[in-house]
Structure 1
Amino acid sequence: MQSKTLTGGQALVRLLVNYGVDTVFGIPGVHTLELYRGLPGSGIRHVLTRHEQGASFMADGYARVSGKPGVCFVITGPGVTNAATGIGQAYADSIPMLVISSVNHSASLGKGWGSLHECQDQRAMTAPITAFSAVALTAEDLPELVARAYAVFDSERPRPVHISVPLDVLSAPIARDWSNEVVRRPGRGPASATVIDQAVAKLNAAKRPMIIAGGGALNATSELQAISTRLAAPLFTSVAGKGLLPPDAPLNAGSSLCVEPGWNLIAKADVVLAVGTEMADTDYWRERLPLNAELLRVDIDPRKFNDFYPCAVALHGDAQQTLSGLLERLPSDVRDASAAVASVTALRDAVKASHGPLQSIHQSILERIAAELPENAFISTDMTQLAYTGNYAFDSLAIRSWLHPTGYGTLGYGLPAGIGAKFGAPQRPGLVLVGDGGFLYTAQELATAVEELDSPLVVLLWNNDALGQIRDDMLGLEIEPIGVLPRNPDFAALGRAFGCTVTQPQNLTELQADLRHGFKRNGVTLIELKHACAH
């Protein structure tokens, strides 16, 4: 018996399989049924989220720990607008994500007929928060658009891509089978030899070189460590770059450029090598770093070379390949690092000494976490004061281990991103750090976690019964606090209703024990820590 011709939706799913997609996050709807026709037997795991925002956040977390694009299936209209916050977060933090959505029938597009889920111009809604957003007007457009998406992921600054597929294109039989037409041609290469030579000359002449590395340098850990050692250069990271050096590396200045001791040290540099970092104020907590140095920038995005921090040498290329070229040309002798090591040691001491009362409480909690966190675990964080302190005060043992919504700063990120990360790295235990305010943005995703996960995910809910950062900001600006003291639900009862194991430690010793047990328990543990119990 001859097999039926594939529909556009079925062929698209097969194409994604051939690109290596193993997981998609989404919620089936009347406008994505033809995509779901293709899923059974495909080998792709479908993760049912409880809101499309959760789907895009989960795809983000999946991508951050795995290095592979996260994939979402969402319906036209409200599915796309619900997912848009997570798409925007991924765009801001340079995370690869492929969002496949339906859109209304081709004949109705832009006509305002009042069709179900209609958008006048769906592509225009996501264009500002994607590398590109396109509509597949025919099935033959799909392999080209998916190949273009992977060209972004493989060759450019990785960012989300949105492909809308009209209902008639999803459901119609395809004229020929293009589902095996995979095009992967990574286009990244090193900066030009001439420019690398210019950078080497600057670094050789530097008396106090320093390095800032970000999320674009995650594949260059050994090269960064070698350059830092050879030049005796303290190495700072952005939040996205946490873990690029081991915590005990003598020249590891950490992600301390958001606090005054870090600012004071970077101001002493005469040459700064910035690798794969946007150098944004969201990483530094001030409008501009006090750079008195010549700036050498390694970046895959040429738009970064003349933005807020114009550079003396622009090294346009892949971080790992470009740094490898630098190493080949730099003198092989290792400089005396005693002064640089002393400055980094003083920096670390100054960071701890600079903690205010609230940060000291956070530090105590973070120390209990560090004592129990499995070596291969990751931490997914929300926009919460505990995580803000952790951004610079918590040492990550490895890259892809601290997930934080830095650029867009979205509340509600921590829990779904942590769930998505569990699918990207199932063997890794996960910890979510979330405040009471952000938790209620996406608390429904506990249903997904309990249903889908059979390995440890611990959710540490830091409950200060307030939108604490906003309250503090209002007080600092002498604004009478309004809307920052919400009435919270019974979080323990809520967690139990979803099926979580729930604990409510009354002190930090109990917290540490609860963390220890949570990381040994297969499934979801919700730990509610009240502010009053953390002193």
Structure 2
Amino acid sequence: MSNDISVGEALVRLLEAHGVDMVFGIPGVHTAELYRGLATSKIRHVTPRHEQGAGFMADGYARVTGRTGVCFIITGPGLTNTITAMAQARADSVPMLVISGVNARKTLGKGQGYLHELPDQSGMMKTFAKASVTLTSGENLARTLADCLSLAQAGRPGPVHLEIPTDVMVERVPVPVAALGAPAEPQAEAAALAAAAEAISKASAPVILAGGGAVRADEALRAFAEKIDAPVVLTSNARGLLSGHGLRVCASPSLPGVRDLIAASDLVLAVGTEFGPTDFDMYGDGRIPAMSRLVRIDRGAEQIAAGPEVVAALVEDSASALTRLLPNVTASAGKNGLKRAETAREAALSNLDGRITGEVGLLHRLRDIVPEARFVGDSTQLVYAGNLYFDALRPGSWFNSATGYGSLGYLPPGAIGAALGDPATPVVAIVGDGGLQFSLAELGTAVDEGVDVVFLVWNNHGYREIETFMVDAGITPEGVKPTPPDMEAMAKAFGLGFARAGDEDALVAAIAASIGKGGAHIVEYVM
């Protein structure tokens, strides 16, 4: 019938109706039917070289756009390849929808040896995704998809898995008229709002801790911090908030100078932060200051329940909660917020050793020479230094995979996703020679998609951070010296621009000469 289409075609139309403009995936026999209507849609398909790359690209795209990153992934090995990226997204509260195939309904759980078969694919995904949903009938597609997209963004955002059996993909369903709406965002109750306002108004030395959940609340956070005269400590994913403002403390709360600020406060307002050890106790010394009076704003009620004891909690989006709370708090003066923030910044900088101080200085030189750029990172020395103390110019202009789940291989795909999500902003992608080899093939995707990315390869000939850790622990280093490829030959093979730098001045000049020139480039910094 002319008014009937396949479930695969209906899925594409519904994704388009929900505002999805890009999907990341590698087609296979178990997802081919999902591609039936894709070529004629307005959705752009991006083909990575590995399914893990698809997940990391969706992550980078979601971080810069705020929209859900969507993947099309084959059953079995394709999906297990994507798990690492989904786990990183779960740790960093990044909204993602992974739509996979699964074998025909009658075969599920039978263990009969079908291609790409898993004992319980959905059960496996439920152990770390926010949810894993099986579409058992085409007639449920519109509602199921709407629910999955909503869940990816609801509360604390994260990855959701939707699997569609191959026999359901080919079912005929009526042409969908429109996407179903998402439920309204929750708002904190009046009693909680009043309790938070009272506690904050009584404080004589308040401090604000802002995490990645506040990254889209810059204006509201700035106004609130000014009104209560409170320093704002920024975790790594919050860097760039209050850019240039005297109340910002762009340093890790793992540093003694910042911990002294927190310990001396009589109220802590935590906005969109989970108190994760990789931000608050990265050295594992267990010396996080006690917070005698804590007010929390977080979209996830379960996150608040799992954390320290609070005097008030607002389960709400950061910008919304701060905006509603602002008129209810008493304006403050004489709390020395600017001085307390300045003292914390200076103390934190003095806590860094000479090597890290130098690396932070290099990052700031790069920031100043390419102020329009976004800095995306993997787990490598320069990124670790920046997470301790990097003063970003805009919210969302510094993020990486070195905190939380801490996966290697995030770059290049995370940087490619970021560049695709915001093509007007060039990307400086910081990666070590060891980490680069986890997803080296995605350089080809960067060329295919024409992204404006400069891959700064921090070449210290191996896994230097791990080698240092082993030496400090009295362990003879082993397995930390993988041979890096010839970066120039590799760039030529993939069709990227290339430059090599042996000192910081040459590196800064090479980045400045490569950024914004169109296409992808490698700048190798040889240690």
What is the TM-score of this pair, normalised by structure 1? Answer: 0.95
> Offset at 1:314?
1.7
Residue 246 of structure 2 corresponds to 250
Residue 282 of structure 1 corresponds to 278
Residue 309 of structure 2 corresponds to 310
Is 2:378 the partner of 1:407? Answer: no
Is 2:487 the partner of 1:488? Answer: no
Assess if the C-alpha contact under 8 Å between 1:8 and 1:139 holds in 2.
yes
Mapping for residues 79-90 of structure 1, pairs under 5 Å: 79-90=78-89
Mapping for residues 516-535 of structure 1, pairs under 5 Å: 516-531=512-527
> Offset at 1:151?
2.2
Mapping for residues 29-44 of structure 1, pairs under 5 Å: 29-44=28-43
Per-residue CA deviation, residues 391-434 of structure 1 (Å, 9 max, x unaligned), is 13221111121121221100011211000011111111111000
Structure 2 distance, partners of 1:4, 1:231, is 60
Residue 295 of structure 1 corresponds to 294
2:385 to 385, 389, 395: 389
Residue 27 of structure 1 corresponds to 26
Assess if the C-alpha contact under 8 Å between 2:146 and 2:182 holds in 1.
no
Please state whether the residue corresponding to 2:88 is helix, strand or coil.
helix
Residues 4, 499 of structure 1: CA spacing in aligned structure 2 closer, same or farther, 3 A cutoff?
farther
> Offset at 1:56?
0.1
Mapping for residues 457-472 of structure 1, pairs under 5 Å: 457-472=453-468
Residues 126, 288 of structure 1: CA spacing in aligned structure 2 closer, same or farther, 3 A cutoff?
farther
Assess if the C-alpha contact under 8 Å between 1:368 and 1:508 holds in 2.
no
> Offset at 1:12?
0.6
> Offset at 1:280?
0.8
Assess if the C-alpha contact under 8 Å between 2:61 and 2:417 holds in 1.
yes
Please state whether the residue corresponding to 1:520 is helix, strand or coil.
coil
Structure 2 distance, partners of 1:304, 1:43, is 37
Structure 1 distance, partners of 2:61, 2:177, is 25
Is 2:164 the partner of 1:157? Answer: no
1:196 to 174, 185, 193: 193
What amino acid is aligned across from residue 257 of structure 1 in structure 2?
A: P
> Offset at 1:334?
4.1
> Offset at 1:288?
5.6
> Offset at 1:460?
0.2
Unaligned runs of 5+ residues in structure 2 are none
> Offset at 1:154?
4.3
Assess if the C-alpha contact under 8 Å between 1:268 and 1:292 holds in 2.
no
Is 2:203 the partner of 1:206? Answer: yes
Residue 347 of structure 2 corresponds to 350
Structure 2 distance, partners of 1:126, 1:288, is 35
Please state whether the residue corresponding to 1:6 is helix, strand or coil.
strand
Please state whether the residue corresponding to 2:62 is helix, strand or coil.
helix
What amino acid is aligned across from residue 354 of structure 1 in structure 2?
A: N
Residues 303, 520 of structure 1: CA spacing in aligned structure 2 closer, same or farther, 3 A cutoff?
closer
Assess if the C-alpha contact under 8 Å between 1:61 and 1:403 holds in 2.
no
Assess if the C-alpha contact under 8 Å between 2:221 and 2:322 holds in 1.
yes
Is 2:108 the partner of 1:109? Answer: yes
Please state whether the residue corresponding to 1:24 is helix, strand or coil.
strand
Residue 511 of structure 1 corresponds to 507
1:335 to 313, 333, 336: 333
Is 2:428 the partner of 1:431? Answer: yes
Structure 2 distance, partners of 1:399, 1:153, is 22
Mapping for residues 354-393 of structure 1, pairs under 5 Å: 354-375=351-372, 377-393=373-389
Residue 169 of structure 1 corresponds to 168
Residues 367, 213 of structure 1: CA spacing in aligned structure 2 closer, same or farther, 3 A cutoff?
closer
Please state whether the residue corresponding to 2:237 is helix, strand or coil.
helix
Structure 1 distance, partners of 2:188, 2:367, is 39
Residue 325 of structure 2 corresponds to 326
> Offset at 1:303?
1.4
> Offset at 1:147?
1.2
Residues 202, 487 of structure 1: CA spacing in aligned structure 2 closer, same or farther, 3 A cutoff?
same
Deviates more, 1:276-285 or 1:353-362: 353-362
Residues 135, 7 of structure 1: CA spacing in aligned structure 2 closer, same or farther, 3 A cutoff?
same
What amino acid is aligned across from residue 387 of structure 1 in structure 2?
A: V
Structure 2 distance, partners of 1:56, 1:20, is 19
What amino acid is aligned across from residue 260 of structure 1 in structure 2?
A: P
What amino acid is aligned across from residue 221 of structure 2 in structure 1?
A: L
Please state whether the residue corresponding to 1:504 is helix, strand or coil.
strand
> Offset at 1:307?
2.1
Q: How well do the aligned residues superpose, as a CA RMSD in angstroms?
A: 1.6
What is the TM-score of this pair, normalised by structure 2? Answer: 0.96
Please state whether the residue corresponding to 1:445 is helix, strand or coil.
helix
What amino acid is aligned across from residue 182 of structure 1 in structure 2?
A: A
What number of residue pairs does the alignment pair up? 523
Structure 2 distance, partners of 1:17, 1:292, is 46
Identity %: 40
Structure 2 distance, partners of 1:76, 1:18, is 25
Please state whether the residue corresponding to 2:230 is helix, strand or coil.
coil
Please state whether the residue corresponding to 2:177 is helix, strand or coil.
coil
Assess if the C-alpha contact under 8 Å between 2:453 and 2:521 holds in 1.
yes
Deviates more, 1:129-138 or 1:62-71: 129-138
Structure 2 distance, partners of 1:5, 1:45, is 24
Unaligned runs of 5+ residues in structure 1 are none
> Offset at 1:355?
2.4
Assess if the C-alpha contact under 8 Å between 2:60 and 2:415 holds in 1.
yes
Deviates more, 1:186-195 or 1:394-403: 186-195
Structure 2 distance, partners of 1:27, 1:398, is 33
Assess if the C-alpha contact under 8 Å between 1:191 and 1:318 holds in 2.
no
What amino acid is aligned across from residue 328 of structure 1 in structure 2?
A: P
Mapping for residues 33-182 of structure 1, pairs under 5 Å: 33-174=32-173, 176-177=174-175, 179-182=176-179
> Offset at 1:201?
1.3
Residues 31, 251 of structure 1: CA spacing in aligned structure 2 closer, same or farther, 3 A cutoff?
same
Per-residue CA deviation, residues 166-194 of structure 1 (Å, 9 max, x unaligned), is 111112322x23x3341223422431111
Deviates more, 1:504-513 or 1:69-78: 504-513
> Offset at 1:436?
1.1
Residues 183, 426 of structure 1: CA spacing in aligned structure 2 closer, same or farther, 3 A cutoff?
same
Is 2:499 the partner of 1:499? Answer: no
Structure 2 distance, partners of 1:185, 1:47, is 26
Please state whether the residue corresponding to 2:160 is helix, strand or coil.
strand
Residues 107, 131 of structure 1: CA spacing in aligned structure 2 closer, same or farther, 3 A cutoff?
same
Residue 477 of structure 1 corresponds to 473
Residue 230 of structure 1 corresponds to 227
Per-residue CA deviation, residues 32-55 of structure 1 (Å, 9 max, x unaligned), is 111111101111100010000000
Structure 2 distance, partners of 1:417, 1:529, is 20
Assess if the C-alpha contact under 8 Å between 1:242 and 1:396 holds in 2.
yes
Assess if the C-alpha contact under 8 Å between 2:231 and 2:248 holds in 1.
yes
1:269 to 249, 253, 265: 265
